[in-house]
Structure formats: structure tokens, C-alpha cells
Amino acid sequence: MKDGPQDYPKYVGAAVIWLALLSMPFWINRVGGYTQLGTEVLVMALAATALNFLLGFTGVLSFGHAAYFGLGVYGAGLTIKYLLPSTLAGMAVGVLTAVVAAAIIGLLIVHLRGIYFAMVTIAFGQVFYFIAFRWNNVTGGDDGLSNWSRQPIDFGFARLDILHSPVTFYYFVLFFFAVAVAIMAALLRSPFGRTLLAIRENERRTRFLGVPVDRHIWLSWLISCTFVGLAGTLYALLNNFADPHTLYWEQSGVFVIMAVLGGMRSFWGPLIGAAIYVVLQDYVSTMTQNWMSFIGLFFVLVVLFFPRGVLGIIRRKVVP
């Protein structure tokens, strides 16, 4: 199906978003931010977009994605600290760890639906959390995994210094963000993506058409967890630290809030939601320890009065 004139605002909006992301290090300091904050927005946006692949486009709610985010965090951190001081090797191990865990757990829970699926994802996620929390000799326990850092990347003909240059590291993260969202966008525009939308709208009818629904949901789950794991590795590199709370179920709730806040049935909604959440957290937390109360109130107001999220508000203004 070809795009029509009604799709032009969508492309204009995407162009504005990419222009803002590409130029962020040059303007963020002028509006009271800093480069590391922009990098955190990208990382959280990638995690929220990956969750939204499952939630917004397949219609399956997971409260256990923090497990695969945290596995990416610890996979990268443990590899760099104990095995090989290489940024790319750490990322590869972190993503692979998340993929293997998601593939196995997905096979066990893919037949569940609704609240049962969501609750079981929490249960499995808490298993990983308590392993990281209790395994003090390896993970550092509640103190986290420290005394390691991301390493410069040597290509032979060039050297990428992502250790000392926040701007270089920002574009390093932006590269992986761009690749990840491009893959997810391509999948959603493919027949596979159209099938996921059909499952979201009417699973029973889709099953009657002969579609292997469980297999498609498992693949959607695996793709979603893969990119959440990638976001976890980037988060570990951003902070040069692995925290067991990245595995806690509350982190999954944060990803859901970001997706719903921005607009969970729109592709760029999670990016908008992540930007609002991260910036509000950074700004309000400097004024009060009860910053979650303000974010919670803002979230409730958006859900009550603008159920399509902030991006839905913008689209309503642009395209009445």
C-alpha cells in the first residue's frame, strides 16, 4: 500500500525528530541541559520503543522487560570487568545474554494472555533481580558493579574515543538507536508487522485465518527483548556502572509509562515520552525528593484527558 498525502505530516515529523537528534549536542546546553542527559534520553527511548513493539503493535503487556534491560547492563559490565576490556565485546555479550534468556522464557509463557502474561513476566524478572542482588562476589550485590568503564574503540585506521568525549559517545549511542529503530520500523511495515497488528486488533479472528499466533507473539517478544537488551548495554556504558535496580520490576513500569505517556500506538510516541520523563526527572529531582509524585500526577492527567499520549495531542493540533 502506497503512502498518500495524508502521510506527509508523518514524514515531516520524522524529519524534525531526526534533525533534533542529530543536532542535540549543539543546542541542549543552551536550553539548560547537558549532553549526557541527551544520551540518557536516547537510551531510555530505545528501551521504551522496544517495549512498545510488543505492547503498542502486538497488544501484549509485559512488566518484565527490566530483566532483559538489566541482563544487558550486567552482561556488558561483567564482560568488560572480568573477561575482555572491550566495549563492543561487552555489548555483544549483553545483547546475547538478553536474547537467550528471552527466547527460553518466551517459550514458557507465550501461551498466556492478559494479566497472567504480565504477572509471569514480573515473576521471571524478579528471579534475575534477586540473583544480581545476592551474588555479591560477582555482581557487587546492592552496591552494584563498579571499577570498570567503557573503552575507546580502535578500528585500526581510526580510534573512536567514547570514554572521555560525551559528544562522541552521544553519536555512538545515536548510531545504535538509529539502526534499532530502522529495523523495527521495517519489520512493522512488512507482512510480519501487519500480522502483529491483526493480532492486536482481533487475536481470535487472526487465529481462525490460520496464522500461528503464538509463534508471532514469541517473535515479537524476542525482538522487543533484544532491543531492550541493547538499550541496557548502552545504559551500562553511559554510567560505567551496573545497578541491580535496573532489573527490578519498577524499571519495567517506567518503560510502560514512557510508552503510554508519548503515545503507545505511534512509533515515535515512546521517544517523546522518554524525553519528557527523563527531563522531568532530572529537573524536578533537583528541587524535591518527591519528584515521582509530580511525574505521577502528570502521567495521570495525560491518561485521563489525552489517552493517545502527548504525540496524539500534537497530531490533533497539526492535523485536525
What is the full per-residue pLDDT of the chain (320 aa) written as tens digits? Answer: 455 555 556 678 889 999 999 999 999 999 888 999 999 999 999 999 999 999 999 999 999 999 999 999 999 999 999 999 999 999 999 999 999 999 999 999 999 998 999 999 999 999 999 999 999 999 999 999 999 999 999 877 778 888 889 999 999 999 999 999 999 999 999 999 999 999 999 999 999 999 999 999 999 999 999 999 999 999 999 999 999 999 999 999 999 999 999 988 889 999 999 999 999 999 888 887 787 888 888 888 888 887 788 877 776 655 44
What's the number of domains the chain is made of?
A: 1
pLDDT of residue 7: 56
pLDDT of residue 319: 44
**Nearby residues of 68 by Cβ (< 8 Å), 6 or more positions away:** 98, 101, 102, 225, 228, 229, 232
Q: Is residue 195 part of a domain?
A: yes
Q: Is residue 300 part of a domain?
A: no
Query: Which grid cell sits at 72?
Result: 544487558
Instruction: Give the residue from 279, 10, 255 showing the smallest Cα distance to 122.
Output: 255
Residues 123 and 66 sit within 8 Å (Cβ to Cβ): no
> Around Cβ 300, how many Cβ atoms within 10 Å?
10
Residues 237 and 90 sit within 8 Å (Cβ to Cβ): yes
Q: Is residue 104 part of a domain?
A: yes
Residue labelled with grid coordinates 562522541: 168
Q: Is residue 149 part of a domain?
A: yes
Q: CA-CA distance, 159 to 155, in Å (whole number)?
A: 6
Q: Is residue 230 part of a domain?
A: yes
Give helix 213-239 / helix 191-201 axis angle, nearest 10°.
Answer: 110
Residues 224 and 65 sit within 8 Å (Cβ to Cβ): yes
pLDDT of residue 320: 42
pLDDT of residue 156: 74
> Around Cβ 255, how many Cβ atoms within 10 Å?
28
Q: Is residue 242 part of a domain?
A: yes
Residues 98 and 235 sit within 8 Å (Cβ to Cβ): no
> Around Cβ 218, how many Cβ atoms within 10 Å?
18
**Nearby residues of 276 by Cβ (< 8 Å), 6 or more positions away:** 261, 262, 298, 310
pLDDT of residue 317: 58
27-44 in b/e form (b: 16+ CB < 10 A) is ebeeeebebebbbbbbbb
Q: CA-CA distance, 49 to 41, in Å (whole number)?
A: 12
Q: Is residue 307 part of a domain?
A: no
User: 74 lies in which domain range?
Assistant: 33-248
DSSP code string of the chain = ----GGGHHHHHHHHHHHHHHHHHHHHGGGGT--HHHHHHHHHHHHHHHHHHHHHHHH----S-HHHHHHHHHHHHHHIIIII---HHHHHHHHHHHHHHHHHHHHHHHTT--HHHHHHHHHHHHHHHHHHHHH-HHHH-GGG-B-S-----EE-SS-EE--SS-HHHHHHHHHHHHHHHHHHHHHHHHSHHHHHHHHHHH-HHHHHHTT--HHHHHHHHHHHHHHHHHHHHHHHHHHHT-B-GGGGSHHHHHHHHHHHHHH-TTSTTHHHHHHHHHHHHHHHHTTT-TTHHHHHHHHHHHHHHH-TTHHHHHHHHHH--
Instruction: Give the residue from 230, 248, 200, 217 showing the smallest Cα distance to 108.
Output: 217
Q: Is residue 204 part of a domain?
A: yes
